[in-house]
Amino acid sequence: MTTMTMKRPRDKLAPEPAPALSRFHTSRYALPKDNGTNSNLCSGPFLLSQIGDPTGFKPFWKSVGDQCKVTFYSSDFMSYLTDDQKVCWFLEKDLEDAIRKLHQTVGNATTEDRYIVVGTGSTQLYQAALYALTAPGGPEPVNVVSAVPYYSSYVEETNFLRSALYKWAGNAYSFDKEGPYIELVTMPNNPDGQVRDPVVNRFPHIKFQHRYDGKLIHDLAYYWPQYTPITTQADYDIMLFTFSKSMGHAGSRIGWAVVKDKDVAIKMTKYIELKSIDVSRESQHRAAKILGMVSDRSQCLGADFRFGKSLMAERWRKFKEVISCSRLFSVPKYMEEYCQFSGEHIETTSRSFAWLKCNNSHVEDLEIFLRGYKIMGRGGSMFGADPNHVRVSMLSDEVMFNLFLKWLSSILDTINNGN
């Protein structure tokens, strides 16, 4: 999910496919055909600002040099098995130790007396958690909800296989159905960066209070010091984390879940076993090496987080400077909070995405409006919100981020000048 470029297609604009089929089968990384709209203002390729590909952290990892070098021999990792006595039998011990040490160092999640389940990114772990919380099933699929604006991929990921175990049921704020349910809580929230709690059953005195206890999945992909103050040590039943957002290494496809209940951890492990047998051991060892270095006091304790925090703060400063030139756009405000990891009050915004709102009533769909200027954001409707919002990534490489600011500034200059 990053800002990236591709060459402009040479063929003419093709007819739009049927909306349902297009949305269901088209990659989120696909670029639209270029019909030259506003090309004089923003000439060049499209900026894919809708995905959170964390290439902005690459300069730090280049500076590390060979401190995280990992060497594999052709005879390494030939077996399926790692440790068949553990709940997650394909989890490498080095990675488990590094994960536990990292969380202890940062203080963002408790791992004591918890089970670690590794997956091919947190997306697979999300599916594994849904399976674990709903199998063997009942007369009706379990409703899955999240508060608006929710992470846009939740809907597609939940409904993709059309499972008989669970189904997407929409906005947690308006959910009032009887029966078991699962609520997804993203903290800080993707897309708007707010820190929030579960909302279903939050008012026990309301007459439609559920007779069933809901189950929670906490997606903590962005609960790291470079994005948000660490205000408490998270301690929930299922907590999902990802190597891509914690360290910036999306291509390794490593995620992990911290799970309280052994039976849930066993079911999650079984799901991954059936889907992919196990998780790449080469990727696990690479992740273990990098996570270990970040939490090693003798090397560069927290250096990655300090770099990331500085980078994000500076980007937000530049971004807010651009949009402050006009009343056309606005972004949410965040409270100053004390970060237990850094030991300081955090005043600057450093969220991974900007939840951009258009304040002009004549712009009905901000995603389409920005696309006309070759800026590809992810529209608010995909998050269950109004189409006058767009999520844009703050994680891209420096060249693409600066180009995004330049084009955004050009749009505002044009509008301010009445052109």
The pLDDT tens digits of the residues spanning 189-203 come to: 999 999 999 999 765
Task: Report the pLDDT value the prediction gives residue 413, as an integer from 0 to 100.
Answer: 87
Taking 50 as the threshold, does the pLDDT of residue 20 lie above it?
no
The pLDDT tens digits of the residues spanning 290-322 come to: 999 998 865 667 889 999 999 999 999 999 999
Task: Report the pLDDT value the prediction gives residue 44, as an integer from 0 to 100.
Answer: 61
Phi, psi of 234 (to 5 degrees): -60, 135
Taking 50 as the threshold, does the pLDDT of residue 21 lie above it?
no
* Cβ burial, residue 227 (10 Å; 0-12/13-18/19+): buried
Task: Report the pLDDT value the prediction gives residue 418, as an integer from 0 to 100.
Answer: 67
Task: Report the pLDDT value the prediction gives residue 308, as an integer from 0 to 100.
Answer: 94
Tokens linked to 205: 């005195």
Taking 90 as the threshold, does the pLDDT of residue 49 lie above it?
no
∠ CA 372-8-21, nearest 5°, is: 70
∠ CA 405-409-411, nearest 5°, is: 120
Task: Report the pLDDT value the prediction gives residue 417, as an integer from 0 to 100.
Answer: 77
What is the spatial distance between Cα 22 and Cα 30, in angstroms, rounded to a whole number? 11
Q: How confident is the model at residue 7 (pLDDT cuts 50, 70, 90)?
A: very low
Predicted TM-score of the model (pTM)? 0.88
Task: Report the pLDDT value the prediction gives residue 47, as an integer from 0 to 100.
Answer: 78
What is the spatial distance between Cα 55 and Cα 251, in angstroms, rounded to a whole number? 10
Lowest-pLDDT range of 29-33, 285-289, 352-356: 29-33
Whose structure tokens read 């991954």?
272
Taking 70 as the threshold, does the pLDDT of residue 264 lie above it?
yes
Task: Report the pLDDT value the prediction gives residue 17, as an integer from 0 to 100.
Answer: 37
Q: How confident is the model at residue 228 (pLDDT cuts 50, 70, 90)?
A: very high
The pLDDT tens digits of the residues spanning 345-392 come to: 886 678 999 999 999 999 999 999 999 998 999 999 999 999 999 999
The pLDDT tens digits of the residues spanning 327-351 come to: 999 999 988 899 999 999 886 678 9
Task: Report the pLDDT value the prediction gives residue 81, as an integer from 0 to 100.
Answer: 85
Q: How confident is the model at residue 16 (pLDDT cuts 50, 70, 90)?
A: very low
Taking 50 as the threshold, does the pLDDT of residue 12 lie above it?
no
Judge whether 249 and 287 are in contact, CB under 8 Å. Answer: yes
* Cβ burial, residue 107 (10 Å; 0-12/13-18/19+): middle
The pLDDT tens digits of the residues spanning 88-117 come to: 999 999 999 999 999 999 999 999 999 999
Lowest-pLDDT range of 18-22, 67-71, 148-152: 18-22
Taking 60 as the threshold, does the pLDDT of residue 283 lie above it?
yes
